[in-house]
Amino acid sequence: MLSVDYSLAPERPWPAAPDDCETAARWAAASPSAIGLQVDGLVTMGDSAGGALAITTTIALREAPAAVPVIAQCAIYPAVDLATTYPSTIALAEGYLLTAPMLHWYNKLYAAERGHWRASPLLADQAGLPPTMIVGASLDPLIDQSRAYAAATIAAGVPTIYREAAGNIHGFLNLRQAIPSSVGDVTGLLTALDAMIAEARGQ
């Protein structure tokens, strides 16, 4: 597993982050000696902004394939559409850790071209993407974006698993000690992802 220390705004605004993630994926796909493994497929994965970056990386590698294919992608409560205000962003604007003012501030610092697919991957054509898992949290202002992205991949004919952590909030992946139900949510998504990857590798 590789964790990409991608560029952060405001010091390095968009598109530095998607550039870094695509570069790292292409580097890994080439089986560099630093990895010490022969790479035969990639799985892109991330949460929150990292979830969107996992998707943009997958799309970039669909458009200009790397040395090996992306065999699956997993995005956990991703921010996939910076161009649209969704009902959940308003209904869950306060009181659930991630707030609407925080989202506004993050988006301002990111300084992205919001209508571009590398900032809002929901706006891209999803056809031809690998098996996809989307994980949302029901008390997340971004939950409508998770649901919308899963619907878009299904509509495009992409094998898709959608999971929703009921009664949980944005960031639960890193809050397992504070929110005990997160343990089951994380275990469930990893179990389902493992099966998805095994099936993809079998094909």
Low-confidence ranges of the chain (pLDDT < 50): none
Q: Respond yes or no: is residue 48 known to be catalytic.
A: yes
**Model confidence pLDDT, tens digit, residues 85-118:** 999 999 999 999 999 999 999 999 999 999 999 9
Which domains does the chain possess?
Answer: 39-202 (3.40.50.1820)
β-bridge mates for residue 160, sequence order: 132
Is 146 known to be catalytic? no
Q: Active-site residue 40, yes or no?
A: no
Q: pTM of whole model > 0.95?
A: yes
Catalytic residue among 20, 47, 48, 88: 48
Report the interhelical angle of 49-63 vs 16-29 (nearest 10°): 60
| Distance separating alpha carbons of residues 152 and 177, to the nearest angstrom | 33
Give me the catalytic one of 20, 47, 81, 140.
140
